[in-house]
Structure 1
Amino acid sequence: MDSVILVEKVRRPDPRGLVRDRLEHRLAASDAAPIGLVLGPPGSGKTTVLSRVAGSSVEPTAWYRAGAEDDDEAALVRHLAYGIGATLPDLDVAPVVGSGSIDVLLAALEADGRPIRLVVDDLHAIAGTRAEAALERVATLRPRQLRMILASRRPPAINTTRLMLDGELEQLDGEDLRFRSWEVEELFRTVYQRPLSPEAAAALTRRTGGWAAGLQLFHLATARLSRTDRERAIDELTGRTRLIRSYLARNVVDGLAAERRRFLLHTCTLGVLTGELCDALLDTPGSAALLDQLEREQFFTTSTDGGLTFRYHQVLQTHLEVVLVDELGAQATRELYARSAALLEGDRRTMAAVRAYARAEDWGSVARLLHQGGSALPPDEEWWSGVFGRPGAPADDPGIVVAGARRLLRNGLIADAVAAYRHAETLMDDLDFTARCAHERAVAQVWLPQPVGLEPGRPRTAERDLRLSLELRTLTRTLRAPSATQGLAAGLGRLLAGDLGGAARAVAEPSDEVPRWEQLAARLIGQLAELLGQPDEESAGRLEEIVLTADVDAFPWLSRVARGVQAALWLAMRPSEWRIAACADLIEDCVRHRDEWATCLLTGLVGAAHALAGRADLAVPLLRRSAECANRLTAPVLQLWAEAIELVVERGSGMASDSADPAPLLRSAESLGLTAVARLLTGAELPAWTEPRPLVDETAEPPAVLPPATAERAAGSAARLQCLGSFALLVGGDPVPWGGLRPRARSLLMLLALRAGEPVHREELIEAVWPEATLASGTRSLQVAVSSVRQWLATAGLPEDSLRRQSDAYALCLPGVTVDVRRFEELARAATGTSSARPADGAGALAAYQAALDAYRGDLLPEVGPAEWVIGERDRLRTLAAHLAADAARAAQGGGNTSAGIAAARRSIELDPYHDPAWRLLAELLDSAGDHSAAAVARREHARVCAELGVPVP
């Protein structure tokens, strides 16, 4: 067996592929280095380049393809001698083969003296073996007439540095092998006989990274397409076709050792790789060395900054991401992306963190980071807006598109979510991935305004989430279909049928095994059933808990509906002008989000609440709007409820015409199984506990805990917010005690007061007040603090809606409030001439400066200390005041008012000891006043300050 020679290993392949002069010249030109080394990852075109060089060489060329079985010197010598002997027929290689010695082979070549080129392919297969050591002897001790070309996936154990310094070796790497766009155009025109336009060739080069195997696989996949269809396919190519995945799985990933495979799979979630990030993610040391090794081995790993950061090639990155989901499952993969995102954010790699958070479906963190980035986001990240609203956006990452589709679905944008799932299915030719997308799309698709059912040809599946979706959607069409006795579908069916007790029992204590959204929806149905039976104010607290939980768990649609139920409850029990406005805002928020189902439900609920409060003029338009929306959604059960309540309200208020006939509605109720609607239309009235309620002026009737004197002041006085020098809320001129507020609630109040009237996003509030908290815990803390602040505002005699929630933002809205910061800035603008109200000059100018300085009572919000959210604004206002004081000193100097000038200059220096003009003015004014010793002291202090800064005295 030792003497076996596999002829295939020494058979030279026929020249193939594109003639690439820029590479072949460096390897085979007459003045080229005698040894060529070609390094590149699998599929980078190494063998193709070598075959072209061998085929065009004027010298006899021997070929040897190394294999893992050739792990000793004897095996190497046998194959090299056989190949060289076939190339140089007169050379007697039998003694060489018998010796098994490289030295004997070299001596035979030296004695022969004829020029020859030796090509060794797949050198990595014998890495670390005695055969590789023997080949190194060939490279270093070869006869002068022997030229060599070596190809490997990783650098060989040969002193290549010395050979390169001696001019003996020319090296090509993966970047050299990468196809340029003009080469891609030439490849498809002359080799594949499938021409591409220059623009299409450039796009294909970008999408494949110029990877030779990727280009070949794309050609195989599109060989039978027309040119138009082939160029259209380039737009859909993302390195994720089944051919490319199969190649990577078979030739790259599956043959790796378990530890390296795990490293690649887990670290692909980072996108941007550093040793520290990988160590932290995997909780193991040594990642930096492994990344360096991967790059040296040309293992689809590159660094463009000298080894500071690394990235996987796009096609490998995508393959790893798909394999990761297959092996870990969706939930574990999201958790891994979330960990990666947190590490990236901590390392200030914002856009990589945004991508990872999107993969983790943590859209709150995505919004927070994008909000922080503002207009500074790189141009190639503009497509992120598509993830948030347009499923057809130019996103070509299937994982992110699917995550965006799920987000759209959770926000109630059904049609957009379905389109996003369809788009994701086109991005990857992988059966498992497309099956998952198709299933999730089917779940969403049943809620489109069309008949219930699956797309033609798709069998009804037993998967629970799709079956539940079909059952729930059916209940919006008819109640005659049988339903389970327990669970979400049963609860909703009984609620729509008017069986409030049965609905509450059906959803009582939902199983922990069902998805979280289903548990929350069941709790909401239970609460709604109780409220319709007998509302009470404690129910508002239970609804607030559902709203909070839905926010934390990222179910915005459920949160929106629960908030609407809560608002409708308060509107029915304690109607007031601001509650009417708040409900209208909630409905318009649904419209802005293009959430038709929430719009349908909330307009119906709020319309019913107006009806219960005796406001038919407000109830009827909303109920009519709800019925129209239900009709568009093909939800006749909801439509019938809205139309029936509308008719009852109109009849009860005298708004209905004599011709109003309930018979059509009765027939519809009978056909749909809505006996409760039939009872309502045939004489039953609105629930007995309802009666017309007058609007409550809650400003004039503050809570009982408010002292009478404070209540009187609050009823007739505007509020003032004081943020400079110290924080206070003054009502009727008196500060409202705030000792009962916890420190974090105080910080929240002060932040909102500083930006009074301006909505501040939830993520920004959490980042400022609870910087150490996770999004979930921070949201809970924010809700608790908001509740505390609202109660405190109520004790001050201010309306409950003084702290308003607007979608995912909060705003402190106090009509007619004055804020001292704004007043100071207005006076500063008037004094400095940036306002049309500036005084002319002289005494008027000095008075204007003094008025502005009087408004600056001290540092901004000193109570919060060095909090990051206030430091910048505090320094800006202090600097503004210092400049105003210096200007006041200059105005006083010009008007001959020396004492006022000295006081203003000293004030400027107190505010900003490094303000040179104030020091110079102070010394000049003291000299003018005849106090030369004080002027000398001022100059010495100025010199000391300049020395501290290391600058010369002006």
Structure 2
Amino acid sequence: MSGAERHPTVLRSRTRRPAPRGLPRDRLLDPVVGPSAKPLVSVVAAAGCGKTTFLSHVAARATAPVGWLTLDGALGSTTAVLAHLQLACADLVPSLAERAPWESTEDALATLEQVLDGPALLVLDELQSIDGTPAARVVEGLLQHQPVHLRVALGSRTVTSTALTRHLAGTATVLGAEDLRFRTWEVEELFRTCHGTRLRADEVADLAHRTGGWAAGLELFHLATHGRPPSSRARLLGAGGGQLSSDYLARHVLDQVPAPLRDFLVRTAVLATLTAARCDDLLGSTDAAALLEQAHRLGLLNAVADAESTVYCCHEVMRAHLLDVLVGRDGGARARELHQRGAQLALREGDFDAALRSSCRAHDWDAAQRVLAIGGGELAERPGSWIDELPASIRDTDPWVALALARRLVVDGALEEALEAYRLAGARVETATGRALAAHELRMVQSWLNPPLGVVSDWVALTRDAFVAPRRQLAEPRPADAPRRLARAVAQLTAGDLAVAAREFSAVSEQPTLPSALEAVALLGEAVSLSLSFRPEAAESRERAAVAAKMLGAPALERIADGLDLACRPETAREALSHLRDRCAAIGDRWGAALLGLFGAVAGLPTGMLTADEHRALASELTALGAPALATWCSTMAAVEDARTGIRDRGTAAAVEKAAAGVGPLPHALALLAAGTAQGRVRAARLARSSGATTWTALVLRGLRATPGTATAEAPPALEVRCIGGFSVLRDGMPVTLDALRPQHQALLRALALHAPLPVHRERLLEWFWEGRDPERAQHSLQVAISALRGLLDRPTATPATSVVRRTGGGYALHLGAADRHDVRRVERLLAAGRSALERGDVDGGRRSLAAGVRELTADVLPDDGPAEWVTGERDEVRGSVVRACQSLADLCSAAGDAPAAIQVTRHALALDRYQDGLWVRLVDALTADGQPAAAAAARREYAQVLAELDVPVPVLTHVQLPVRVLAGPLPARARV
């Protein structure tokens, strides 16, 4: 073994966790960081899909210690990767840095099992860079024998065999490029919250379509348009933005691919899907299988195994780039020739979509017409973007294209435009069967837009009638066929009978021969029912509905599914939901816009997010669509908002209640709550219980009770507790004199106040304040002390149930009401709000909340109590939280170019805890950036003194370099003393 192998160079930069940037996406983060998360998560996607960004968000949201290692080709040896793994794991357990170097995988596993006594997260990024090396076997061993407390997150362009095996066994989560793809509403949220740019709904849709939601493509678009007028966005979108992605893909992807494989990928890009046989036929070769496997291993192709062979496909952005390379390298004539051969292969295999697209790209319009003549009926069943490939001469004359255009308008929600398109298709279709098909679909659209009068039996008309008079349909016998059962389930959902609706939608979706469109609608209805019922399986149901809508190729249903998911996060996703509404309006999808508005109104009702006028405007919108039952929901919610502001009119309330009772139990319950009577609340609770909406109705009632009119906004708080810098209690705005209490009773009050509103078990109190006393006498002393505290703090009319000091379980707690204040709890709330805002991508809001929380802690918590056992833990925890907030705040200030603010907040943190390595690094960096070299040198000297106090060897400090030793963890005990 060489000297370099025995003593590898260990770079701290490889174990430095990247700062989270971009948009944290809850739909991805919740499954991998929540309480039910698997111990292993593997993120597998090609370059530019956002793997590292996502992993940084996972690390930022984790509540456990996090270690990070970015792998590269230089870590191929066992010794090198073990040395870096040990350094990364030292961020989990600092004592690991002092241990002997790990010699083997078994040594690392045994050590981790020994030292990890709580949850921890290790992130390994760029795993593909060590593929095929001894280091890869080290990682495989770590995954095969993963320590019980260690969660692992992997980022790679290829999936490891162990991760795949564990995924199949249910102990790992594997996320791919499709999961990381930015949805349309996420594109809008990304630009609005992270880039400070508000894109129009049509710009968002166009950008999402052209980039395929590819993270790097979105970032490149932002860089190309940042600081430029809005017209630059339109020009770039009109040009397709190919030049942006071309440079990126050429530098970061294709330049790293061997030349034979790169040539193979360029020439086979004319094929939409690739198999070994198809590629060999196209190129006249025999080695396609090996090249496809190599491309898949490098993360350039996705693979799906079918009954006969493995089918590969390329990301659309990558494929578009490869086709551009083909034309630029071989010329247009050679490219058209390959497209023609690809069209012939696709047509021979019955892939009409690929055959038509290749014919169009070859400019072989005769071939395109032949494809339409042979497979036009099948193509018309999938009315996708292939229509846009055709020239106007074919698009405006071919009957199958006319029918496909009408169907595409339907699935996009533009029903008024679809009417005219169907009439045109009926006039162009030459066969009697085709004309009958167009006429039938035309009647379906007409029956939705203009419901027929009288009794109806068609399932579309029945579904439409559910939005008019749901109880009329529910009075009929239960139908046997799936389409009419689906219509009945829609009526149950409209009536608010959520439990029954969820069961009926689930039963319909499980029908084996159900058409895909009905299945998608049934899954969406089930997701709505479960979400409004606050059922734990609702999130999974929403995901199934979104996947079904995407597989169906129905953008209108996709938007509704996305809107439902957003409505379940009303506080953070209101803007994104509004964007989806705008997108629907721009397309002409009036029903989609109204339903998304209804989702937002229902979700925001408990907290009063919409005003009564906004609810009434939505009711008018639904009335104009001919959906009076849904409009009644909105009118009822408007009555609730009126009640929230103290507006109640008996005549109006009676009319609203009558209309709501005619719709169903849940709207009726809302109307009873709006009336505001005790009897009405009892009846509302019964109706909510019977309809499966107890939780949502209780939230609405709680919101009504917390109205501004029921509290005195200007009254001082009943109780205010101050623990920062000293102890005091204020009651009704006046200081409480504690001199009458014994010193021991005062200490007990401080302990209860510090932990408030959480209870402290009496055994702990006895141990803290009456240690060594006879148990019975100690218990009696505690009761005497509690009685003294109650006599001092309670009002004369207080009872044990309303006392400030309450018995809770086996202990006592200082009760804090909604109007009470606690300075330490306020610091915690502000810091939590700041972290939450940063996770959502709200940098300005996060910075404000963190700064407010940091400013609150001007001194230690209860400094006069010194090292008392009951105070040190809480004191260190608060101090540590504020110091960590200062670190985040300093990073935000530095990123914004505000060096003076970064200096100020870093010095504030060092005043609280001068034994934090990261703070000194930030201070020196900020002083240097602010042009204060002398102050930076002084900070280095002071830092060296700190290290000397801790007996840490002080290296020579040059420029802004600092020691690599990380002084993580709490303040050393001897330094505190």
What is the TM-score when the length of structure 1 is the normalising length? 0.38
Provide the TM-score with structure 2 as the length reference. 0.37
State which structure, 1 or 2, has the greater radius of gyration over its C-alpha atoms.
1
Larger relative contact order (CA 8 Å, sep ≥ 6): 2
